[in-house]
Structure 1
Amino acid sequence: MEILRTILTVIFAIDCIALTVVVLMQEGKSQGLGAIAGAADTYWGKNKGRTMEGGLVKATSLMGVLFFVLTVVLNLNF
């Protein structure tokens, strides 16, 4: 069981670093008052998932879920 804990800890550390990098790569959402009218078009656009920004959002979500699951699993006493 100690080997499994070590492997999960290494994956957890890699996930933490990757999550930090992906969040820092994303563009800021505060673009001033001029962005209020066009915010719906850019966020809800059809091809949002195919852009780099959409990919970063998906990667952030996936790594956030992995972070949460690994945190819970590593804090169990087994």
Structure 2
Amino acid sequence: MSTIGMVLTVILMILAVILAAIILMQSKRSAGLGAVSGNSSDTYWSKNKGNSVEGALERYTKIGGALFMILALIINLVG
């Protein structure tokens, strides 16, 4: 494996650990029986969730997942 492949692999492993930590810090999304009734109430919390810690963690998870997939593809093409 080339030097660049090794460096990218190390970066991928670090990103995997960070992504796992971010996912574990998120709260559960169990709606319970409220999801069955179909009540999709627009509350203050649901409208402003993006500005909270949970919203930030969700955003970091999406970005980290995309970076993980792109980096894995690059390693596959280089290696």
Fold equivalence (TM over 0.5)? yes
Following superposition, the deviation at residue 34 of structure 1 comes to 4.2
In the alignment, structure 2 segments of 5+ residues that lack a partner are none
Following superposition, the deviation at residue 39 of structure 1 comes to 6.1
Following superposition, the deviation at residue 40 of structure 1 comes to 4.6
Q: How does 1:13-24 map to 2 (within 5 A)?
A: 13-24=13-24
Provide the TM-score with structure 2 as the length reference.
0.78
Q: How does 1:1-78 map to 2 (within 5 A)?
A: 2-34=2-34, 37=39, 40-41=42-43, 42-43=45-46, 45=47, 47-77=48-78
Following superposition, the deviation at residue 52 of structure 1 comes to 0.5
Following superposition, the deviation at residue 7 of structure 1 comes to 1.6
Moved over 4 A (4+): none
Provide the TM-score with structure 1 as the length reference.
0.79
Following superposition, the deviation at residue 5 of structure 1 comes to 1.3
In the alignment, structure 1 segments of 5+ residues that lack a partner are none
Aligned residue-pair number: 76
Identity in percent: 37
Measured against aligned partners, the alpha-carbon deviations of 1:2-29 in whole angstroms (never above 9, x if no partner) come to: 2221221111001100111111111000
Distance 1:37 1:69, change over 3 A: same
